[in-house]
Structure 1
Amino acid sequence: MDKQEILLSAQKIISEKIQQLHHLIAETRQSNVETKSAMGDKYETGAEMLQQEINHLNHQLSENMKLQDSLQRLNNKASITADLGALVETNNGIFYISAAAGTLSFQNRKIMCVSPESPIAKVMNGLVTGQTFTLNGTSQTIMGIW
């Protein structure tokens, strides 16, 4: 498997989320301005709700920027053990221990981008090909690590 292409795909997903959040924040700010002009002094409740939405979007933006930073710091060296930067295939799926970027499709296969702090990454940490682990009552065997 080509970890470089998978990393680029994960970075693209996060970059698109960041762009979308910037767009939503700008739209919400514009709505706040329009609400103020249309309603005069009686806009306080609506303005507060819009401000809360902007705060929520800014928080999501901050989290996604942290994910983007984490992905940019990863290297693509071959991995022997299941740890940060490893692409791990088990009998139940493929996991890229990188950042919680969600699921991406690569060569018609689904790859779950998971944080090193996720339960599955913690259970797999340090394991090698052929080893088995159990998570939530499900046993999985590591078929390969890249």
Structure 2
Amino acid sequence: MNELKEFLLRKCNQVIDEKLESIQQGIRSYQLDLVTETKSSAGDKHETGRAMLQLEMEKLGQQYQEVLAQKDTLLKIDISLKTKIQLGSLVCANGVFYFLGTSLGKIKIKEETIMVISIHSPIGRLLLGKQNEDSFLFNHKNIQIEQVF
């Protein structure tokens, strides 16, 4: 099972790296647009265009910082087998697999779908500290922990 968790961790890092690269490309594109806007425009329209580009760059900068924080979380993951659920645990509950890492959503591995969730998500907070055969309520449903890996 550690091989699966290692694979999941590598896949999560790959997804995060792709997000970082995409954001960096967006920032570079806006920087180029900003230079072009400076050379080709004059007056109020020019200032509005520059302001819009700078706002978009700021948004991308914030997204970049958020994704970097996700990458930092992944660096803290210990995938060794534990009896209690914590960061890095793979959990089967009600037939659904959860990997506690960072919020990335569904990752498909062969025929199995694994939900990669943050420990700060609503279900992540409820899972933390639980162990095999514990149960809890989530969205008015009883969730039974079948296995912690």
Structure 1 length as normaliser, TM-score? Answer: 0.93
Find the counterpart in structure 2 of residue 127 from structure 1.
Answer: 130
Q: Secondary structure at the match of 2:42?
A: helix
Which of 115, 120, 129 is residue 112 of structure 1 equivalent to? 115
Residues 1:73 and 2:76 aligned together: yes
Write out the 4+ residue segments of structure 1 that deviate beyond 2 Å after TM superposition.
none
Whole-Å Cα distance in 2 between the matches of residues 19 and 103 of structure 1? 20
Using the TM superposition, give the Cα deviation of residue 101 of structure 1 relative to its aligned residue in structure 2, in angstroms. 2.3
CA contact (8 A) 1:82 1:145 kept: yes
Whole-Å Cα distance in 2 between the matches of residues 92 and 46 of structure 1? 51
1:29-48 equivalent positions in 2, closer than 5 A:
29-42=31-44, 43-48=46-51
Pairwise CA RMSD of aligned residues?
1.3
Deviations 1:48-103 (A, max 9, x none): 01100000000000110111111022111012112211111111521111111222
Using the TM superposition, give the Cα deviation of residue 28 of structure 1 relative to its aligned residue in structure 2, in angstroms. 1.0
Question: Which AA in structure 1 matches 2:51?
Answer: E
Identity among equivalent positions (%) equals 25
Find the counterpart in structure 2 of residue 93 from structure 1.
Answer: 96
Whole-Å Cα distance in 2 between the matches of residues 79 and 59 of structure 1? 34
CA contact (8 A) 2:100 2:118 kept: yes
Find the counterpart in structure 2 of residue 61 from structure 1.
Answer: 64
Find the counterpart in structure 1 of residue 29 from structure 2.
Answer: 27
Using the TM superposition, give the Cα deviation of residue 20 of structure 1 relative to its aligned residue in structure 2, in angstroms. 0.5
Q: Which runs of 5+ in 2 are unaligned?
A: none
Deviations 1:3-32 (A, max 9, x none): 100111111100100011000110011111
CA contact (8 A) 1:89 1:142 kept: yes
Whole-Å Cα distance in 2 between the matches of residues 58 and 142 of structure 1? 39
CA contact (8 A) 2:78 2:87 kept: no
Residues 1:84 and 2:107 aligned together: no
Using the TM superposition, give the Cα deviation of residue 41 of structure 1 relative to its aligned residue in structure 2, in angstroms. 3.7
Q: Secondary structure at the match of 2:27?
A: helix
Q: Which runs of 5+ in 1 are unaligned?
A: none
Question: Which AA in structure 1 matches 2:40?
Answer: A
Q: Secondary structure at the match of 1:3?
A: helix
Structure 2 length as normaliser, TM-score? Answer: 0.92
Find the counterpart in structure 2 of residue 16 from structure 1.
Answer: 18
Q: How many residues align?
A: 146
Whole-Å Cα distance in 2 between the matches of residues 75 and 127 of structure 1? 17
